[in-house]
Copies of this chain bind each other. A is one copy, B any other.
């Protein structure tokens, strides 16, 4: 190799190295970053800008999600696992089997390469466990002060293997509303990590793939009308979204909604309502009331949805409103979250 070639040759990333603007420039340093950090963990073909998928039969579902969580690492997860699971979950909420993911990275100059590597390896691990492939990626670097370490945008392609339509449109009066588990873990785990609040025991994020639970519901032949993962805005806002989209009222039952004691304590300390706190491993399911028990049975046998319970019903009213029957037996109106209860939690 002549010196000229060597000048344009990949430079190995040293321990302790930080990402520089040059790592985003499209040249040899970027190739080295892509080769040693991304391709090494994800197994992507970096020789071409698009990835050709195997032929599939069925309707495809696609989704995209940006992740700007701060801090990048928190109890129970990190931005990488979160990005993989968040995108898988958006596909799962349409009833689609996740097939392939793409990931775009916007890196702030100065990010330690060791942190980037840890995130990418976490993504690879989450994808492997979920049986999806990360098929393409992109890396951009922005100057110090124009980012916040790392932003990840993931897109997913899923396959709808059945002739079903899971959508707020499909919700009917009298349907049962099932909640897959306790609320508020992800939002409070991130907030406690960010603010340095030590809960005892520490609160771990509930971030996880929801596809196994959804697949089990579909495999059981249940008539799933609507699914929604309870991320930004929490269970309350997601319920209002569905009620409004369906043009039907939803009645929730506070006694059926569980919040783990450390989460409840942290929420109380900070004046937050767990109904509005984001989750990354919980969903609501709307289906005919006659199938509610069967659905609960299916969910309780799946890891991650062992706490599933009927938490409400779709009423006869057509105002698109959500009401909550409190533990005292009174009713209170549940509005949509009006602003940002917790910024940067996903």
Instruction: Report A's interface with B, CB cutoff 8 A.
Output: 2, 4-5, 7-9, 20-31, 47-56, 58-68, 90-91, 93-94, 96, 100, 102-106, 135-143, 145-148, 151, 153, 155-158, 160, 165, 167-169, 228-229, 231-234, 237, 240-241, 245, 278, 321, 333, 335-344, 346
Q: Which chain B positions have C-beta within 8 A of A145?
A: 145
Cβ-neighbour of A168 out of B30, B48, B94, B143 (below 8 A)? B48
Contact status of A26 and B233, CB under 8 A, knowing A104-B65, A138-B66: yes
CB-defined contacts of A27 to chain B, threshold 8 Å: 232-233, 237, 336-341
A91→B25 contact, CB < 8 A: no
Would A55 and B59 count as touching, CB distance under 8 A? yes
Q: Could you give 29 example pairs across A and B, Cβ below 8 Å?
A: A2-B333, A8-B240, A8-B335, A8-B336, A8-B337, A20-B339, A22-B340, A25-B337, A25-B340, A26-B233, A26-B337, A27-B336, A27-B341, A48-B168, A49-B65, A49-B90, A49-B228, A49-B229, A51-B62, A52-B60, A55-B58, A62-B155, A62-B157, A65-B138, A68-B106, A138-B153, A140-B346, A142-B151, A153-B153
Within the assembled complex, what's the spacing in Å between the Cα atoms of A141 and B343? 8
Contacts A22-B338, A27-B337 aside, 10 further interface pairs with beta carbons under 8 A come to A25-B343, A27-B237, A48-B94, A50-B91, A50-B94, A53-B62, A62-B135, A62-B136, A146-B148, A151-B151
